[in-house]
Structure 1
Amino acid sequence: MIDKGSSQDRVPGDEYTRPQFARAALLTIDMQADFVAGPYAVPGTEQIVPAVARLARAFRDARRPIVHMVRLYLPDGGNADICRRSLVASGACLVAPHSPGSRLADGLTPAGAAPLDPDRLLSGAAQPLADGEHVIYKPRWSAFHHTPLRRHLDDLGVNTLVVAGCNYPNCPRATIYDAGARDYRLVLAEDATSGFGEHARPEMTGIAAWCLTVTAIERLLRTDAETAASRA
């Protein structure tokens, strides 16, 4: 964990892969009530909620964009992954539109944010929560699969993605691979991602997706913001 000694002030990578936090966006993945607690909770996700909320506050403080990626399963299961379609079609209420279980986990959204708008999200539009903070619906593991995410990030001039949320083997991992294929500089928030373990580190570093702690990311965000301000 890059969190001790002078290593916490170093940005990993080379000229092509080094994260540029002054041009970074935070992606939170599937941080919804049904995945945090209850019969369909994903192990470890409840425990990372405070860390993901802390990351979101750090990005707001740095005036950097945040995108919360969410699932919304229709009652007939028609838009669910095939591995979950039978479960949803049999009557399981899992991140159903307008349900309490579909809302973002407590502490993740800015003060005064409106509740999720399923009709808007399912239409493929991004829903604004605050200046620089949006929600986007994703129909599959990757945040880039049939979503407006790439266009949204391009419009903001983002070249670096910090990924956190639920849960490493599935959606964060798929998102990181797809982001790498689109030439983004990549950071995985290791202590804000459920399912992350030491087995994941060599895989991520092997594709230049750097595993950093929330503390290190906070520090690097502040450093880049201060550097940008000094050049202004």
Structure 2
Amino acid sequence: MELGYDSREALCRTISPGDDFMTQDSEREDPVADLRPHWDSCALVVIDVQRDFLDGGASPVAGTSGVVPHIATLVSAFRAAGRPIAHVVRLYQPGGTDVDLPRRAMVHAGARIVAPGSAGAEIPESVLPARLDARALLSGEAQPVGPGEVVFFKPRWSAFYRTGLEGWLHANGCDTVLVVGCNLPNCPRATLFDASERDFRTVLAQDAVSQGTQERLADLASIGVQITDVARVLSALGELGATRQGMS
């Protein structure tokens, strides 16, 4: 079920129909028109779904293993719909320092967490059967893994930080991002805020992200993130496919 929050309603009430937003005239009477996802120009962004963050991994994040099947379902649906998919991963070189501050001392001391080339750095096969090309990713390249599907390496929280994600989204004609993955208060949240700052329409599938709480979801809804679930996304993609078939 999609969630509604007083904070979102307060945000919407501050928008006057006369405000000069870059919307079509037919949308200007609708205060949330700029927030609704465009599924026909939506990309799926999968954050930090790597084995070391799953149960039994080197640095498990509670709840991540439980949402992997839902993430795999969305990945399969986006592939079937011909929509772009970006997997965004962390790679910590043992002994290195290009690491977020909370883990920097530990990794610099030699801790092996999502170490390049390790089994723990890989994405679960149910989500992505291809292996990561750590050398290419660390050099800043996007790794193609299928039609319209790539992997990016991010050195910090946001999937937009020192990556080619924004350019890739524009090149694929995307104005909407659906974010899923590991540990909502950290990387998914940072990614959603950065996406919103870049005027992308933002969507979060609450049952395909770990560490979600009502307070954290409300925080995101207050900046216009649309909170939904896997079933509703699948329904939207199904309607999109039916519309395309009807037009062919």
User: Does TM, scored on the shorter chain, surpass 0.5?
Assistant: yes
The verdict on how the C-alpha distance between 1:229 and 1:152 changes in structure 2, with shifts beyond 3 A counting, is same
Q: Which runs of structure 2 are paired with 1:54-133 in the superposition (5 Å)?
A: 54-109=73-128, 113-133=129-149
Residue 168 in structure 1 maps to residue 187 in structure 2: no
Q: Which runs of 5+ in 2 are unaligned?
A: 4-29
Match of 1:75, as an amino acid?
P
Q: Which runs of structure 2 are paired with 1:141-160 in the superposition (5 Å)?
A: 141-160=157-176
Tell me, what secondary structure is at the counterpart of 2:214?
Answer: coil
Q: Report the counterpart of residue 140 of structure 1 in structure 2.
A: 156
Q: In the alignment, is the contact (CA less than 8 A) between 2:35 and 2:226 conserved in 1?
A: no
Q: Report the counterpart of residue 27 of structure 1 in structure 2.
A: 45
Query: How far apart in 1 are the matches of 2:133 and 2:170?
Result: 24
TM-score (norm. length: structure 1) = 0.91
The verdict on how the C-alpha distance between 1:119 and 1:216 changes in structure 2, with shifts beyond 3 A counting, is same
Q: Which has the larger radius of gyration?
A: 2
Superposed CA offset, 1:69-93 (max 9, x none): 0000111132111210111122211
Q: In the alignment, is the contact (CA less than 8 A) between 1:187 and 1:211 conserved in 2?
A: yes
Quote the offset at 1:231 in angstroms. 3.6
* Correspondent of 1:16 among 23, 34, 40: 34
TM-score (norm. length: structure 2) = 0.85
Q: Which runs of 5+ in 1 are unaligned?
A: 4-11
Q: Which runs of structure 2 are paired with 1:147-226 in the superposition (5 Å)?
A: 147-226=163-242
Work out the percentage of aligned pairs sharing the same amino acid. 43
Query: How far apart in 2 are the matches of 1:228 and 1:203?
Result: 35
Q: In the alignment, is the contact (CA less than 8 A) between 2:143 and 2:152 conserved in 1?
A: yes
Match of 1:2, as an amino acid?
E
Quote the offset at 1:13 in angstroms. 7.7
Quote the offset at 1:15 in angstroms. 2.0
Match of 1:80, as an amino acid?
V
Q: Report the counterpart of residue 2 of structure 1 in structure 2.
A: 2
Query: How far apart in 2 are the matches of 1:117 and 1:26?
Result: 21
Tell me, what secondary structure is at the counterpart of 1:147?
Answer: coil
Q: In the alignment, is the contact (CA less than 8 A) between 1:114 and 1:129 conserved in 2?
A: yes
Superposed CA offset, 1:101-158 (max 9, x none): 000023001xxx5310011101111101111111000011000011100011110000
Single out whichever of 175-184 and 199-208 deviates more from structure 2.
199-208
Q: In the alignment, is the contact (CA less than 8 A) between 1:13 and 1:208 conserved in 2?
A: no
Quote the offset at 1:201 in angstroms. 2.4
Query: How far apart in 2 are the matches of 1:119 and 1:39?
Result: 21
Tell me, what secondary structure is at the counterpart of 1:28?
Answer: strand
Query: How far apart in 1 are the matches of 2:31 and 2:44?
Result: 19
Query: How far apart in 2 are the matches of 1:212 and 1:13?
Result: 19
Q: In the alignment, is the contact (CA less than 8 A) between 1:77 and 1:86 conserved in 2?
A: no
Q: In the alignment, is the contact (CA less than 8 A) between 1:36 and 1:105 conserved in 2?
A: no
Query: How far apart in 2 are the matches of 1:74 and 1:16?
Result: 41
Q: Report the counterpart of residue 230 of structure 1 in structure 2.
A: 246
User: What RMSD in Å do the two structures reach over aligned CA positions?
Assistant: 1.6
